[in-house]
Amino acid sequence: MKKIQGPGIFLAQFAGDVAPFNSLQEIGKWVAKLGYRGVQIPTWDARLFDLTRAAESQTYCDEISGQLKELGLTITELSTHLQGQLVAVHPAYDLPMDGFAPPEVKGQPALRTEWAIGQLKLAAKASQRLGLHSHATFSGGLAWPYLYPWPQRPAGLVETAFDELARRWRPILDAFDESGVDVCYEVHPGEDLCDGASYEMFLERVQNHPRANLLYDPSHFVLQQLDYLAYIDCYHSRIKAFHVKDAEFRPTGRQGVYGGFQSWKDRAGRFRSLGDGQVDFKAIFSKLTQYGFDGWAVLEWECCIKSSEQGAAEGAPFITAHLIEVATRSFDDFASSGTDEKANRAMLGLKG
């Protein structure tokens, strides 16, 4: 069996305009002091990373890697969550999604999609230059507004949406394949890839593309009431990245999975800092180790109660405590009788 690497931390929720959160060097020093060994870098934040330059310049990538190595850090994955979201946007979300796009494509959905696809292709090349094997992203969503519709969906609507989603992603997946990097979709509400069933619909349409893989985040499954351990049994061969994020679901007589349009702190389902929610991380780390996952365990902090600084400080030792030193021998080796093939056949009553 292989060992999970960690602890890592996703920098997106910590980046800001004030030091030490406004440059990769300074935020790297901060997380290294907290005990992290890896960083997952958001590629849309120019304060931390220049995606275009990374795709074009091996020197820049070597400099970034070298600076982090001096701090005892490595890059776990690059992230294009926001750009991936823009690969497929339903018109109902055009205005809010424009907030993720550069000024030159705002208000122009077709150009925005083209820009997003270009960003993903840059990320493939940048990941290759950095020597990475996995990449974290979202799928985007065309069918999402029709998840629980009234009136009922017309026949073929979902199929058309997934056909189009696959058409847009296929050249991106091919670009990542050329770069030797796995695309890891974070299965997430708001994306058309929101659970295992929807992922399978997409996978079928991209002909089981070897690069169409998964970022496993159990918090989203708690909020959906999906069995997050059985999910690993189903898709372990496709899980290539791992967000360690906690959550809780406490339904009441007033609200359940849909949250009643309440703010995060007032929802029945909400994300929590590590150890404050209901996720069984011991079982998750055991199951992922059982299946040979050797990627990074990366903290993603999203909590409506605890501060990000406290969440980050508590996250590194929490992940470290869950990392498993894999067994190198069987627990019952001491009782081995040392038999050979001849003895085995004799024990079974077989001749010769």
Q: What is the pLDDT of residues 38-75, one digit of tens each?
A: 999 999 999 999 999 999 999 999 999 999 999 999 99
Report the 10 Å Cβ neighbour count for 147: 14
When pLDDT is averaged across residues 245-255 and rounded to a whole number, the result is: 97
How much is the pLDDT for 189? 94
- pLDDT given at position 332: 64
d(CA 46, CA 49): 5
Q: Please state, in angstroms and rounded to a whole number, the distance separating the CA atoms of residues 148 and 258.
A: 11
Of the candidates 94, 24, 8, the residue with the CA atom closest to the CA atom of residue 65: 24
pLDDT at 344: 85
Q: How many Å apart are CA 185 and CA 166, to the nearest integer?
A: 13
* Residue that the structure tokens 């770069």 belong to: 179
Gap between the Cα atoms of 94 and 96, Å rounded: 6
In this prediction, residue 334 carries a pLDDT of: 60
Average pLDDT score, the chain: 96
Report whether pLDDT(335) > 70.
Answer: no
Q: Kindly state the average pLDDT of the residues 242-260.
A: 97
Model confidence at 279, pLDDT cuts 50, 70, 90, reads very high
Q: Which residues are CB-contacts of 325 (< 8 A; sequence separation ≥ 6)?
A: 3
What value does the mean pLDDT take over residues 171-177?
Answer: 98
Q: Residue 352's pLDDT is what?
A: 67
Helix (H) or strand (E) holding 32: helix 24-34
Structural domains of the chain ordered from first start: 5-347 (3.20.20.150)
Q: Which of 205, 202, 251, 245 is nearest to 221 (CA)?
A: 245
Residue 333: per-residue pLDDT? 64
- Of 150, 133, 139, the residue nearest 210 (C-alpha): 133
In angstroms, the Cα distances linking 72 to 19, 62, 85, 195 are: 20, 15, 32, 36
pTM of the model: 0.95
pLDDT tier at 135 (50, 70, 90 boundaries)? very high
Query: Higher model confidence: residue 343 or residue 320?
Result: 320
CA distance 252 to 257: 10
